[in-house]
Structure 1
């Protein structure tokens, strides 16, 4: 049975296995991995997990900023990640309140739809009345996931990364 958990150093090896399956780059949506994050060494990984925890902390939530990160896991296997960005700022307007990614070998199991439903429950606790979700225009799996959870199509916008579909979900 899958569960959403806060990032933890306990799953360092499992997280690296998931990241390695994606291949090189920072495209693991939902993990909050930045270009300068060093996650291969135990100390670097621990520092990164602490940074994610700080962004999810009460002070960040109270200030209307920050981000709640959750990993999608079963036992000791990391299937992916999902992030709920708090507040409304330029970054959220471009990339949405929610971002997620499922490792290739774990796709087509309904994990993204399940995780999106659970993170929407967390969004309710932030008193958001709606969330914005975007996905690449040709990502039909993500389109189905968003629409299954009640996403209402708002249109397509061209970005520096290519065209994206924009959806809102009323909370």
Structure 2
């Protein structure tokens, strides 16, 4: 059964296959400002070796710590992978706070499902599993954004309790509660 977990090296092979799928659909170019795109540009030439992949996993996990080094303008973030056993299905990141840019464009939560695993409810399951984690991080409500024309992602956000606020710079913005229902 799929689950949302902290990044682990055991999914190395499947992770590489997923990144190849993302690259095949054009992800990773200089105009791809997503988490996956940025990481493909930064790490894809190093991921193949187990040692480099272990270092990547260590860096992802450390990014959740307030005092970890990160680029200027970036905030601490908890990265979680959605896996079924050793099979990597997707990723989700919870940004611990909003910068002005994240308030306009990126939000607290971003997610990606590998192309071969789409349209099976994984994005919804990831988001629903992540909301209590965001609450434990002290985030309530969360801002989640999607492109204006991304109907599938909008459906996921609405299933997660997202309430539409407005559209800015081509991004629809939704606020979703993270507090458990009483």
The equivalent residue for 1:84 is 94
Q: Does 2:42 align with 1:42?
A: no
Paired residue total = 163
1:39: Cα distance to partner? 2.1
Change (3 A) 1:78 1:40: same
1:43: Cα distance to partner? 2.6
Tell me the distance in 1 between the aligned counterparts of 2:40 and 2:131: 24
Structure showing the higher strand proportion among its residues: 1
1:20: Cα distance to partner? 0.8
Change (3 A) 1:115 1:20: same
The equivalent residue for 1:5 is 5
C-alpha RMSD over aligned residues: 2.1
After TM superposition, the score normalised by the length of structure 1 is 0.86
8 Å contact kept, 1:29–1:81: no
The equivalent residue for 1:25 is 27
After TM superposition, the score normalised by the length of structure 2 is 0.81
Q: Which runs of 4+ in 1 moved over 6 A?
A: none
SS state of the match for residue 56, structure 1?
Answer: coil
1:28: Cα distance to partner? 9.7
Q: Does 2:79 align with 1:69?
A: yes
8 Å contact kept, 1:129–1:170: yes
1:69: Cα distance to partner? 0.8
